Structure 1
Amino acid sequence: MMKRFSNISVFVKQIESLLPNLCLNSLICKETISKSCLYPIALKSNQTIRSFHTTLSLSKMEDRRILISSTPKKDEGTSGEAAIGIDSLIHSREDMFPSENTPKTLFNNIPFSEVPIVNIRVSRNNTIITLTDGISGKLKAMRSCGIEGFKNTRKGTNVAAQATAISFTNQCLNKGVKTVRVRVRGLGPGRLSSIKGLQMGGLEIISITDSTPVSWNPPRPRKQRTL
């Protein structure tokens, strides 16, 4: 919007009267108006009056610079390391962590060391779930995303892992297994979805163990390609 004014003071007073009714988040301010009024404007009636106008895009650029300068710097730490304080849980929830009496603790009249184990093998392309005996380690049941009916790239999705876990739960309940320990190995989309599927199916999970191997001395990477 463009208006012609013959006097700077009249222009400033009219803008100041409109400021309370504007909701532009400090895009128009008194300082900006005073700086903009430094443009030469003829005050005599016999001369051509120079038009004065401002745009919202110019104000946005300045407002963005102020916002960026006031924003605190992002912490470059490990993702998720500040999500929960483990040290505080050690004192408040001691029952969440194993102790020397954990193997003899009873869960539904079954010692912890004898509770069946659900092994979840997660990768980028598939999720394999098996049930083993807590004493002998004998395989009792197995299910994977491929067996469930998912093919090709669909096997590596979290939806396939959750559906496989629900189907696997039905096998466990048919064998009379209701209380299990969960051991997760690997990284992939079905890492959390499979555990959620076991809970939705009706299994009682008493512990979750992450047995993902860590390679402290990985093989030497391939040399960089020369172009």
Structure 2
Amino acid sequence: MTLLALQDVHTHYGEAHILQGVSLTLEPSEVVALIGRNGAGKTTTLRTIMGIAKPTRGSIRFRGEDITHREPHEVARRGIAWIPEERRVLPNLTVLQNLQLGMLGARTPDQDAVVETAFDYFPRLRERKNQPGRLLSGGEQQMLAIARGLVARPELMLVDEPTEGLAPLLVESLTEILGSINKSGTSILLVEQTLDVALSLAHRLYVMDQGQVQFTGTPDELRRNPAVQQRFLGV
């Protein structure tokens, strides 16, 4: 069964028509990347799936269930975690407390084991587990944001611009970690500005422009289409 399916989704912010008929699918254990210029509608797509932005038309189905008009906490309970671009690490809570907060409401029988699994992906966080979030570097805060989503044991992670503003070595490390998380069975819908990261992680890509999907295909199919790269990605 298809894990996630959007069909003809439209979303408005006031009078602004942001998503204009977006349709996409994501299969179990798949990484799908949304790419495109700033303002293309990528983040709004994630916000609409999560129930933060409300669609004005179309449908969103997760594991076959219609979640189009669900509230964010209801979407999260069904197994979708959202890692926003702004990270939202709680500055006065420790790394461990931030992770414990991520498990609130989740059916997690052994929380210590789940936290240790997250630390296995992010050993640097284990070393800093008693430090408050405000003392972490930007890269460490991004790791914590992803780990906090991971401890809820989601089937699907919506990850928005995870490499934004990070040094090249951290980008490489984070790309490998996201790949490992996916290999463990977690599906990922990724918004990513760095084309090389999207091409290396994704099984399929959707190129968006002005609130519409302009191209869908595999990384190899996109590489073989310089016209799409130039027109919609500025490559």
Instruction: Give the TM-score taking structure 2 as reference length.
Output: 0.26
Q: Select the structure that is richer in strand.
A: 2
